[in-house]
Amino acid sequence: MVGLLVFLFAMYRMLMREFVRPTAIQGADDAEQGLALEALEASEQRYRSVVELQTEFVVRMSPDGYLTFVNDAYCRACRMTREQLLDPSWCELDVLPPDERRRFVEHLGRLTPQAPNASIELINAMPDGINRWLAWNDHGIFDDEGRLIEVQSVGRDISDRVFAEQARVEAEKLSGEREAQFRAIAEGVPLPITISAIEGPEILFVNEPARKILGIEVGQVGAEAISTWESRARRDDLMRLLLRDGIVDAFEAGMTTMQGSRIDTLVSARLITQAGRPAMLAAVTDITRQREADAEIARQRETLYQSEKLSALGSLLAGVAHELNNPLSVVIGYSSMLKEFSTDSATVGRADKIHAAAERCSRIVRTFLAMARKKPPTRGTVDINEVVIASLELAAYSLRSAGIEIRTELEEGLASIWGDRDQLHQVITNLAVNAQQALLQVPHPRRLTIITTGENGAVEIVVADNGPGMSETVRARAFEPFYTTKSAGEGTGVGLSVCHGIVTAHDGSIELDSTEGGGARFTIRLPSGKTEASAPATAGKAPPAPSAARILVVDDDVDIATMIAEMLRRDGHDVTIADDAHAALRAMRHERVDLLISDIRMPGLDGPGLYRALEEVRPGLASRLLFVTGDTLAPEIDRFIGETGAPVIEKPLDPQGFRRLVTERLRAMDEVGG
């Protein structure tokens, strides 16, 4: 428990450093900034609420005893307000008697960067005038030079334990006046304390808390005497340990209160002699709230771990996609040229198959990038059938491997919707993955069905499976953030809540119909016909260029550069290749260049560096740059494109679209006299 609270301190400090930085939401729109701030506030509130719920004392202080943080539990123990305890005039060392103060200073001196953790028990002269025994677990924070700058402490009042120990000593000498003294001590302890015979068993003594909390009474025997224990086997385990060692501390056991509710407890027991026979003196501590806090901390830690895994996965996907984009561009480009210029029908057919396969790979790569990229939503017209097909292409292998039959009923001529294609793709993919995980729990046949229909100004998508379904309790909480029925490490509980948020942001709705054993059916409704003004799409082959142009292609991948050059030469352009940015700069000092086509990611001087160099050497040429890239995820690339407005086309290159963009770029420069 103490370790988790120290962990909580560290996590809270880390979150405050990481999330409060302005760069964390740099470049985000107002909606994203609001979401980021809400997430920060919610995360901070959760961690602070867990600390404030603790019955242990949680404090931070300087090495000379001045407090910088206290939780409510410590304020209540001191009977002082938080403001009083944090006042610069209050020094924590003042509540220690002289000998205890000396021991505490020596204790702090033993903390080092190599061994920052230590424990100590002290007598504190509390402000209410009552001396209390407090046990502290301290964690030192050190600066770069190894000096102690802060102490983070988790403590608890162990006076009851000391009193219970004293009660044990007194219990062994029970007789007459000594028994009366024991009873007075035991009745003054807020913990339930009992004495029960080992054999029988029989309840020989209970204090008032034991009566009120556990409902135990003197004279109970047999099953009645142990009825408060959730498991008789657990009590038997305690008895065996006690008879072997004579003392047992912090023995975990479930118990039932007088009101019938279950609680988690720690039992500290001593073997004594009572009325001439062996007996057990036991003190019971209720740790139910602490266990709940432990579970909350563990869940938060697992959520953070899952978030880090997702972030790492995004970086991995971006890297893989970037490496695939170059060879895919070559395959797509040359297969497109084969289709366009070959006169042999068999060759055209083969090239068409190569092109179709490469395009499929390209769509899968774009899907990976869409899932990994963290950009503001981009709205446009979306064909929901294309989104469904792309999602199934991504999940096809894993679905087939699981023996799942995929059925689709996609209505032709379905109206487009106005939305973010990447986000809607994420919704369909999440639902397909959830269905796959559910179907693995049932025998064959396993079916996943996706249906799209449109009517009354709306598009409806149904994702259904014949899996195990959900109980009413699970169904009611299915869209609740972080709620999951999966085992630890198998799910974060955020997939369906993310789907719900995306659909709602598109002015739509998502409903779940499921019964236990009856599969699950998700129905998504999105408004259709909502569009915004956009430039008319240009289809077909690239329009003829105004005139043949001198074009310089810069790319460290010779296959890409050669393919682009051959493509443009077929349009009548004079094309030269440079294998890096420095070679391009040398060429442009002596040659006329109408258009410069450059990769953004290159060793040495990259695309942004080339752009800035041209602005200094030949400012007019900077406006004649056209960039190609397979790494649009990098934030520095996003910033560069946003700041300069430089035109960019993503790999893998679509030959028709690329040639059209080159023609449009040349025509635009001719019109402005550039």
Rounded Cα gap, residues 461 and 446, in angstroms: 20
Instruction: Give the three-class secondary structure for 546.
Output: coil
Per-residue model confidence (pLDDT) at position 317: 63
The class of domain 550-671 in CATH terms is alpha beta
User: Could you tell me the fold of the domain covering 375-534?
Assistant: Heat Shock Protein 90 (3.30.565)
In contact, 216 and 210? CB cutoff 8 Å: yes
- CATH no., domain 54-157: 3.30.450.20
Determine the pLDDT at residue 415.
87
* Residue 251: band (very low, low, confident or very high) from pLDDT cuts 50, 70, 90: very high
In terms of Cα–Cα distance, which of 320, 500, 483 is closest to 423?
500
Helix H or strand E encompassing 650: strand 648-650
Q: Please provide the CATH number assigned to the domain covering 161-286.
A: 3.30.450.20
pLDDT in tens, 578-600: 888 888 888 777 778 888 888 88
For residues 432 and 439, give the distance between their C-alpha atoms in angstroms, rounded to a whole number.
10
Pick from 133-142, 203-212, 258-267, 317-326: least confident: 317-326
Q: Which residue has the higher pLDDT, 14 or 146?
A: 146
pLDDT of residue 47: 60
Local structure of 328: helix, strand or coil: helix
Among the listed residues 482, 449, 63, the one whose alpha carbon sits nearest the alpha carbon of residue 304: 482
pLDDT higher than 90, residue 62: yes
Summarize pLDDT for 457-494 with one digit per residue, the tens. 889 999 998 888 887 777 777 776 555 655 444 444 45
Which band of pLDDT confidence, cut at 50, 70 and 90, is reported for residue 536? Answer: very low
- Please, what is the average pLDDT of the chain? 78
For the stretch 391-404, pLDDT in tens is 888 777 778 888 88
Q: Please tell me the least confidently modeled range out of 24-38, 50-64, 287-301.
A: 24-38
How confident is residue 538, by pLDDT bands cut at 50, 70 and 90?
very low
Q: Among 318-322, 379-383, 435-439, 569-573, which is the least confidently predicted range? A: 318-322
Q: Which of 24-28, 259-263, 292-296, 394-398 has the lowest mean pLDDT?
A: 24-28
Are the C-beta atoms of residues 43 and 22 closer than 8 Å to each other? no
Structure tokens, 6: 């120290």
- Residue 672's Cβ-side half-sphere holds a number of Cα atoms within 13 Å equal to 9
How many Cα neighbours within 13 Å face the side chain of 448? 26
Backbone angles phi, psi at 137, to 5 degrees: -110, 110
Check for a shared fold between 54-157 and 375-534.
no
pLDDT reported for residue 241: 92
- In this structure, how many other beta carbons lie within 10 angstroms of the beta carbon of residue 542? 17
Looking up tokens 């410069």 gives 596
**DSSP letter at 214?**
I
Residue 435 predicted with pLDDT over 80: yes
CA distances from 12 to 38, 115, 304, 313 (A): 16, 22, 12, 25
Single out the residue of 262, 236, 267, 394 nearest to residue 321, CA to CA: 394
> Residue ranges per domain, the chain?
8-50, 54-157, 161-286, 375-534, 550-671
pLDDT surpassing 90 at residue 112: yes
55/292 Cα distance (integer angstroms): 12
Q: Backbone dihedral region of 479: left (phi > 0), alpha (psi from -120 to 50 degrees) or beta?
A: alpha
Using the predicted structure, report yes or no on whether residue 537 has a pLDDT greater than 50: no
